[in-house]
Structure formats: structure tokens, C-alpha cells
Structure 1
Amino acid sequence: MAMRWSLLVPASSILLASWILPAASALATPITGGMAEREPPAAVLWITLLTIAGLSLAMSCRRWWLPLMLWVPVAFAVSLIIAELADPVIGAAIREELGGFYVLQADLCAALAIIVPLAFANSRFDRQDVDKRRNRRLG
């Protein structure tokens, strides 16, 4: 039981750290003004993506399933970004103020943020883990 808690505490702290960068950028932007002031800059999107990739790599080196813990909050955050961009009123205002290239970057970062934790988990998962569990149950 103590071994499981020692695995969950670092994973939860890494998960909490992954929310610091997007939350800091959201708190730093003023609420009044146009859509350009409310959206995170493209650099923040790319830095967040690199942070997610780094955390996923570090987590997958520990256990293959740890990046899946990161995937759930990332998928929720990405759904909020995509919902804004897909909205007929808000999305049109974002495209008008920031341009189509920003929307392309936001979509690309969102797609990669969804795929990266799954890719690292898949790359570390192998059949030996399944075989070890099957042998423990049988013998």
C-alpha cells in the first residue's frame, strides 16, 4: 500500500504542475477588451505543448500508464479551447482579430496535446507487462 502512495504523490504533483502554465497565462490576461486579449498567445500554446510532452515523457519512464493521468485534464482543457474556436460568434471574432494562422496553431497544439500523452503511454506499453500479470494470476 505504501508503494502505491509513493507512486501517486509524485504523479499528482506533476499533474498539478502541468496546470500552472495555462492558469498563469489565463490570470495574467485582462478580462476587458477584445478577443485578442482574452486568448493565450501562440508562444504560450507551444510552451504548454512542450511542457505536456516533457511531463508525458518523464511520467512514461516511471510507469507506462502515468501519462494517461495527464491525458484527462489535458483533454478537458483542449475541449474548452476547441469550443471557443468552433463557436460561430467567438470563433469568428478570434479569426478576425488574430488571423487564421493563430487558429491553425491553436488547433495543431490542441491536437498534439491530446495525442502526445497517449503516444508516450503506447510507446512504453509492451506485451511483457501483460504476460507478467497473466503469469502472476496463473501461478
Structure 2
Amino acid sequence: MTVPAAARLDALRALAQVAEGALPLGLSAVTMTADGVPSIRPPQPVKLNFFADGLPFHAAVSPEGDGAVCQIWAEVGHIPYTAQAPERRRKLLAALRAMPKLERARFVVQDQKILLASETRHAGAVTAEDLMCETVALIQEGRPFLRILGEWL
């Protein structure tokens, strides 16, 4: 059974309208309704893990309104307890307190763990290029301070 040309043109027109309003299109972003009309599937949260500079990084992209929030973090090391290594603990905490405010990167202490983290908000969808750019910017900004902290980690 063949589909009439008018129906195929209507489907193409609907697909063009869907694509116009939701670029860039991601994998599995377009679905078909029960009526056979193409529509955009709402964005889903994305999580991924990777290694950079010998550290395990984690990234999460979550839809928020018309945009998205991109979070990237890595566990840099642990702050020792005072009984374990009082001098190392003192130096690590002093170095963390002396860190200047950076544009993207933040060093956060959470449950004795030192995290290098970044959180950015985007007006539209976060593309793979956006995520790579955020990751490279975070690593480049945090790298000099990671070298300083590395003496005591």
C-alpha cells in the first residue's frame, strides 16, 4: 500500500516545522504521535564519565525550562584528619582558602573530599561542542591550582 503524495508532503512539512523550532536535533529527539505527526521529545538528562589529566570526571546535563544546566566535577583528593597528618591538613586547608575566585572552576570540600567543580546555565540545548568547551575551560582554569594542591595530596 502506498502513501498518497499529499500525506507525504504534509509529513515533511510537519517535520520541517518541528526541526525549525528545536535545533539542534539530538539522537532520538523526533518521535511520531499516534496520528503520525512528527513531534519533538522533551530533552532528557544526560550523565557521562571520563578521565582527563589522570582524574575521573563526571558530567551531568539537565533540562531546566527552555535551557539546561551543565555540571562537571572531579574528585581531586582527600583532606586527611588532624590525627593522620596535621601539617598536611593545615597546608591543604590554607591553600584552599587562599584560592582566588575563578570564572568557572570551584574547589569544594565535601565530606573530607576535595572536588573541582563547575556549573553553568545555558539558554538553549547543550550540544556536544558546548560540553567539550565547558570541560576544557574547567580543566584549563583548574590545572595550575591542581599542581599546587598536588604537593600535599
Same fold (TM over 0.5): no
TM-score between the two structures when normalised by the length of structure 2: 0.25
> Counting helix residues as a fraction of each chain, which structure ranks higher?
1
TM-score between the two structures when normalised by the length of structure 1: 0.27
Max radius of gyration: which structure?
2
**1 or 2 for the larger relative contact order (CA 8 Å, sep ≥6)?**
1
